[in-house]
Amino acid sequence: MKWLVPAALVALVVLVLGAHVAMLSDPDIPRDAAWRLARLNAIAWAVILLPPIGVALWLRAMRRRNAGRRG
C-alpha cells in the first residue's frame, strides 16, 4: 500500500498536465488567455498541494528524530 499515495500523486500530475496541454492546444481559446489560465491553475494546485506535502515531510523528520532519541 506504500505505492498508493505516490501513484495517486503521479496520476494527478499527469491529469493536470494533460488538461493544460489540451487547453493550450484548443484553437477556440486565445493563446494569452490560455497561458494566464494555465499559470493561475498551476499556482492554485501549488497552494493546495504544497502545505500538506510540507507537513508530511516535517512529520517524517520529527518521527525520525524522535526515533533516534529513543534508540
Break the chain into its structural domains and give their ranges.
Answer: 4-70
How confident is the model over 20-71, as pLDDT tens digits? 899 999 999 999 999 999 899 889 989 998 999 999 999 999 999 998 887 6
> What confidence category does residue 2 fall into, taking pLDDT thresholds of 50, 70 and 90?
confident
Give the other-Cβ count within 10 Å of 34's Cβ.
17
Chain CA centroid to CA 52, Å? 10
User: Whole-model pTM above 0.85?
Assistant: no
Do residues 58 and 48 make contact, with C-beta atoms less than 8 angstroms apart?
Answer: no
